[in-house]
Amino acid sequence: MNPNLSQVSIARWFDVTPADLSLVANLPYWCPSATSVRISIQHRNAATVTSAAVLRWHTLSQLDVGSISKDAFLHIGTLPNLRFLSLPSLSALREIAIRSQHLSFCTQFLKLLAPRSPLFDITFVSLEPSLAGWTDLVNTITVTCCPSSLRSLEIRDYDELYSDSDVGHASKNLAVYGDTLKPLLTFSGVTHAQLAASHGFDFDDHFLEGLAVAWPRLQSLRVDTERKPDGLPRATLACLVSFARHCHHIEWLQLTVNARDIPASNPTGRIASNTLLTLGVGFSPISSPLKVAAFLSGVLPKLKRIIYYAANYGDESEEPDTSGLGWSEIHFFIFIHFVIMYSLARAALRPTDRGLTLPMFVDVRVEEATWTTMALTTPTPAGNEGKRSL
């Protein structure tokens, strides 16, 4: 057999002999350069010999096989050049978690499933960013998954475990736009979503409002990036009102927004989220911590924690941005507010007296006295006295 063969196809459905099985298992020795392989045999040991062959190939770009072992399947996920994969029907699948070199592998795997499969949980993590990969994967998810079944969705084009702590700024030309993700808004039952792109996402308030409307059952949404933004985000703090209005179960929200653009007040009046406890702001730029704190206290009265990154914006010649310091200040305000509410409850002061005790929160609404209940029912962990983080 020619060792330089690049395409190998074997099909044997009747009278399969031990010699046939041995030939299949040893194909990588005879054809080490094969990149396109198709194996179809009917025998009780077919999965064993096929798996033995698959495990010895490392340069495959196309693979069409029957049943294989778990080890062989995991090996397939490590193949750097694999572009086409065909496996038997996987109609019983409800949860998928794949970590691969490219999002295209995840896309090809999904294409093995029947349309409208009742998938419940999807996790895809790749190691190399690709805009085309995002587009193809999102469109395939929309075709493959039943709109009413999906509850948890995670897509990442970088792995935090292998992420460089200094990867530079993101490129807007490589950012994932809202239009790319719009097909996912058909899955109205999503409760947990985590989206992470190496070069970030370019969302505006309009898209985020549509997302909040489409996913009313959201409990957590994390939109993350490993790079500092290139310029100011288009989304603003106003998008928080959309989530407060439409997502009544949300507890964790992470977005990168332009916190320098501060709405004059809650633009919809008295709308507030009584469930959101943790706000992640990533690399969000901020310039007026006190004004941002006043806005957040109105829209997110139960907020307990802010997670943020420090970042610089603009040219290196410009004055460094102090976003990290600004968010740290707000986080401390929240802690102080928490302590003051607890003290007021202990002293039986009226809610309207809060402004006299802490002027920075003079605009906090009277109905936010519910913070008092939170303070009284939240025990202080042992050993945490004096810490700023709640």
> pLDDT, tens digit, for every residue of 322-377?
445 688 888 777 766 666 655 655 555 455 544 444 444 433 333 343 333 333 33
**Angle, CA 274 vertex, CA 269 and CA 280 arms, to 5°:** 95
Mean pLDDT of 55-78: 85
Q: Which of 189-203, 204-218, 285-299 has the lowest mean pLDDT?
A: 285-299
Same domain for 294 and 179 = yes
Number of domains in the chain: 2
> Around Cβ 123, how many Cβ atoms within 10 Å?
16
Same domain for 185 and 78 = no
Mean pLDDT of 51-58: 92
Q: Which residues pair with 202 in a beta bridge?
A: 177
- How does DSSP classify residue 316? T
Distance, in Å, from the CA atom of 118 to the CA atom of 150, rounded to the nearest integer, reads 7
Same domain for 84 and 168 = no
Distance, in Å, from the CA atom of 101 to the CA atom of 173, rounded to the nearest integer, reads 22
- How does DSSP classify residue 91? T
Residue 36 belongs to domain spanning: 1-88
At a CB cut-off of 8 Å and minimum separation 6, what does 388 contact? 331, 332, 335
Structure token pair of residue 384: 């945490």
Cα–Cα distances in angstroms (integers) from residue 297 to residues 282, 301, 350, 369, in the given order? 19, 5, 18, 12
The pTM (predicted TM-score) of the whole model is: 0.69
- Say yes or no to pLDDT of 276 above 90: yes
CB 68 within 8 A of CB 50: yes
Same domain for 341 and 218 = yes
Q: Give the residue from 88, 123, 140 where a domain finishes.
A: 88
Q: Give the residue from 54, 69, 88 where a domain finishes.
A: 88
Give the per-residue pLDDT at 369: 39
Mean pLDDT of 21-26: 90
